[in-house]
Structure 1
Amino acid sequence: MIGRTAALRRPLLVAAALSFVLPAAAGAQGFPVAGKPVTLIGGFPNGSGTDIYSRKLAEPLARALGVPVVVDNRVGAGGNIAMDHVAKAAPDGHTILMGTSAMLAINPALYPRMPIDTMRDLAPVLALADVPNALTVAPERRPQFTDCRAVIAAAKAQPGRLTYASTGNGTSTHLAGAQFAAAAGLDLVHVPYRGGPFAMTALLGGEVDIFLHQTPALVGPYRQGQVRLLGVTSRTRLAAFPDVPTMAEACDLPGFETTTWYLLAVPAATPAAIVERLAAEVRKVIDEPSFVAWVKEQGLTPMTGGPVEARALLAADLPKWAEVVRRSGARVD
């Protein structure tokens, strides 16, 4: 009798399983729509780290999907404008956020009024890369800053006089500067700019003393001799800058480390099958040896995993960055 009951249940269980699988599969059948572009929405200006990565990703992803992939940077409010646009877009896989931990994990603690809830309104697709910063100076403007110890000595000699640029209030470059100041016991003056290119222009023009910028945007200026890198905020030295010590080494700050990440996300209502398809196609692209080599040349570290791991990363970093923001006192009204 028991065997007969199990036998009767088996077709029902198979049918029940198919009822979940088939809608998911159907959700991906119409993606991508032929001829309809996939748009990578960034939150920072042309020439920023996310812009550089997006443009590198766009061409091979377009070949993989068989539709154009375009980059559209919607700048403003620390990336909130871009996130809001994606969260409210059609959940069809054709609008993807090129997100950062600054946008997704830091902004919720920084802005008292967020346009979206990053965990509720967006579906993480894939974590792309771990992103360090580098302590950067313009040698022509600040020739005395030959190493990190010289910066620390100057800041301690004149408290409240040394300035550091950032890409905006509460961004990862701001918080990296605040974390450096706190770790070294310095009184530094924060000068926010509207994105990396503007902050870099200020550094090269002598308007500010130092800049803890993200490494992808520093590769060109570093190779051209426009900037001097005094330390990287990663745990170990980077392949892109093998002669540049870590901040822990260069600044006598044992254990100092602060990095962020890039992460793709889509509207929360996007069918799971489309999310998985996007994750699989992007993973194929970024796991190619030539792409991995390029990522490392940018001073980035490739990340692994899929949608589940990306969501777990975001969930874990929200409270972590909330504490960093609280300690820094950063706030955007």
Structure 2
Amino acid sequence: MQRRALIAGTAAALAVGTARAQEGFPARPVTLVVAFPPGGQADVVGRPVAAAFERIWRIAVPILNRPGAAGEIGNAAVARAAPDGYTLLMALSSMALLPEAARVNGRTPAYEPDQLAPIALFSADPTVLVVPAASHIRSLEDFVTEVRTRPGQVSYSSAGNYSALHVPMAQLAQAAQLDMLHVPFQGGGPALTALLGGQVNCMASGPGPIAPHIRSGALRPLATWGRTRLAGFEDVPTLIEKGYPDCEFYIWVGLFAPTGTPAAVIDRVRESSRLVAADSEFRKAMAASGNTLDFRDGDAFAQFYAEDAARLVRVVRALGKIE
């Protein structure tokens, strides 16, 4: 009887403690790390997420851009951060493949995916192949012809080796047997700036960062990596429908916390993330930036993440070592 009472009392105390932890969070600013410079997909989605969290929590949620090594530096920083919920990561899909890329290249990974716990997915869009509007390349067919005519000379920018902007272009190069010149930068923002500045000939990008430049007439979309045509880009064919069935890639943006963060805190952030997804200002910001809201949390996001990560690891192994 005494033992039962002790167990019941312990359970009740734990429940109260969990509730208090959830109610008390956050009590100070929460840093949202973006592992890329400003202007890339994670940053474009992360800023309105942070702004919505601030409205919900009435606590500052500063964005900390920690670029480098295709996102590896920022991802690793959050993986090593105190698991208390006060350091979160707004990650790209490449987060799942970078440790495998390190192993393929004979390096010890800076972090492992299981050091980061998935909380919520905010967007998942296929990448889009774009060229400057002034380019004589007007279609995917023109693009393939151009690359084959000038092997090794048509250049594309990316956020770094094995990044979410590099992998889809590598997929296309494999599928269409193309020889292109890869020019890696420290993030999607600088990669896009290089394209707009005429330093490279093309790039693959999430729709958010390039949408304003397509609307302004600065860039021309040629194809997307989706299974179906992308909303807002209905006139742009998919690579699959153009005869490249293996060219399917999604650049997603999701929220993660260091593994070991208390369940009550994770629950609090997850519940707040649902409120973010329903927030009218956040929705307006997503629409204005050209990003499709695709909110998933809990088991739905965990399953999506696990399946996508397995596919991306296979792609990295097929790419092999990059000298």
Q: TM-score, normalised by structure 1?
A: 0.86
CA distance in 1, matches of 2:160, 2:228: 27
CA distance in 1, matches of 2:5, 2:303: 35
Conserved 8 A contact 2:137-2:143: yes
1:146-174 Cα deviation digits (max 9, x unpaired): 00000111222333332222111110111
Which residue number corresponds to residue 253 of structure 2? 262
CA distance in 2, matches of 1:102, 1:255: 18
1:284-307 Cα deviation digits (max 9, x unpaired): 111346644653554444334323
Q: Is structure 2 residue 267 aligned with structure 1 residue 276?
A: yes
Aligned-partner residue type, residue 230 of structure 1: L
Which residue number corresponds to residue 148 of structure 1? 140
1:200-256 Cα deviation digits (max 9, x unpaired): 23223333222111211101111111110111212222223333222233x433463
Which residue number corresponds to residue 179 of structure 1? 171
User: Which residue of 108, 120, 130 maps to 1:126?
Assistant: 120
1:31-67 Cα deviation digits (max 9, x unpaired): 111xx21111101111111111111112221111121
Conserved 8 A contact 2:71-2:163: no
Which residue number corresponds to residue 327 of structure 1? 318
Q: CA deviation at 1:191?
A: 1.7
Q: CA deviation at 1:89?
A: 2.5
Which residue number corresponds to residue 54 of structure 1? 46
CA distance in 1, matches of 2:264, 2:302: 16
Conserved 8 A contact 2:91-2:256: yes
User: Which residue of 209, 214, 217 maps to 1:222?
Assistant: 214
User: Which residue of 294, 311, 329 maps to 2:302?
Assistant: 311
Conserved 8 A contact 2:175-2:246: no
The gaps in structure 2 that reach 5 residues or longer are none
Aligned residue for 1:305, secondary structure, equals: strand
Aligned-partner residue type, residue 21 of structure 2: G
Aligned runs of 1:190-209 on 2, under 5 Å?
A: 190-209=182-201
Moved more, 182-191 or 127-136: 182-191
Larger Rg over CA atoms: 1
Conserved 8 A contact 2:36-2:43: yes
Conserved 8 A contact 2:131-2:202: yes
Which residue number corresponds to residue 109 of structure 2? 114
Q: CA deviation at 1:266?
A: 1.3
Which residue number corresponds to residue 43 of structure 1? 35
Q: Is structure 2 residue 75 aligned with structure 1 residue 83?
A: yes
Q: CA deviation at 1:275?
A: 0.4
| RMSD (Å) for aligned C-alpha atoms | 2.5
Aligned residue for 2:97, secondary structure, equals: helix
CA distance in 1, matches of 2:143, 2:75: 36
User: Which residue of 67, 90, 95 maps to 2:87?
Assistant: 95
1:131-152 Cα deviation digits (max 9, x unpaired): 3211110122x2x200000011
Aligned-partner residue type, residue 321 of structure 1: L
The gaps in structure 1 that reach 5 residues or longer are none
Moved more, 44-53 or 181-190: 181-190
Taking a change above 3 Å as real, the CA distance of residues 330 and 208 of structure 1, as seen in their structure-2 partners, is: farther
Quick one: percent identity of the two aligned structures? 34
CA distance in 2, matches of 1:207, 1:72: 28
Conserved 8 A contact 1:109-1:321: no
Aligned residue for 1:130, secondary structure, equals: strand
Aligned length: 319
Conserved 8 A contact 2:124-2:253: yes
Taking a change above 3 Å as real, the CA distance of residues 248 and 317 of structure 1, as seen in their structure-2 partners, is: closer
1:252-300 Cα deviation digits (max 9, x unpaired): 3346321131111112221101101101111111134664465355444
Conserved 8 A contact 2:45-2:253: no
Q: CA deviation at 1:316?
A: 2.9
